Copies of this chain bind each other. A is one copy, B any other.
């Protein structure tokens, strides 16, 4: 950067620095209380000598994923992945044609699927998430993302991320923050794509997990095999526990969108010094979805009350965001063009 400035023809250091400083780091955010709260907070904790200054090593920012960084309607995308996997794996499991809950998935019978309840869901998760190596599972996630499309938007699922939140992640990192995902989603489902999509490396993704076992394979090579046993649910009170376990220090900045994020936001704001808690409020039926207190997915009720009481920042998607989704990349568009 310095070299570019020094060498840029017809451009003095001072003028160019000013030009860089003026480039808007949050172009998809409308002016308003949410944007102002974010920018003010970042200025306060990064101003050397200021009362609220926080050393870079302690600038930990945590983000929920479903409904906070990408869409979670009309279902958690991990469920779409699991159902897609049932279809992809069906040829190896001929018995599934006659066996619930798999029969319902293969026939696209959502009523019969719903009738299998939580038990059916757990069977689907076990069949699609366990009994394979961690490498094979990661490959299955990438395969699914490369072809599957969202039913309403007809776009790849990993293009249904929120452009304003991508800008916020980059803005925080440019200001010395270390950005983490802390999600109820499966950690092995999230890691294969989050570095590419969010710029968040695997070691900064915290999530729910199943038991994994170390084995020496038939070829004498070690493998890690996923088992059909839940190990940790990173949701609700599990989020501060997951933060403690994986990160080992308290965030100063956290963003969520549902009651599953309440305890993470409480834990974040209960620390000393300047703290930021943000909530994405889904108010935009036209461009995305509108839901809160009554929603089956991403219910936002207690956390909305806590936000009002605690002065947390509530983002009104309809008012605060100029854009919701990023423009389709060439690669996405190519995927979209496929039948």
Contact = CB atoms under 8 A, between A and B. Distances in A.
Interface of A: 2-3, 57, 60, 134, 178, 180, 187, 191, 195, 201-205, 209, 212-214, 216, 221-222, 224, 237-238, 240-241, 244-249, 263, 266-267, 270
B2 A247 contact: no
Secondary structure of the A side of the interface? helix
Contacts of A202: 247-249
A202 B57 CA distance: 10
Given A202-B249, A222-B266, A195 B244 contact: no
A263 B201 contact: no
A253 to B, nearest CB: 15
Top 3 nearest A-B pairs (CB, nearest first) are: A202-B248, A214-B237, A191-B248
B246 A222 contact: no
Contacts of A187: 245, 248
B201 A57 contact: yes
A203 B224 contact: no
Given A57-B195, A214-B267, A263-B214, A224 B248 contact: no
B246 A203 contact: yes
A221 B275 CA distance: 15
B224 A244 contact: yes
Nearest to A268: B222
Given A2-B3, A240-B214, A205 B245 contact: no
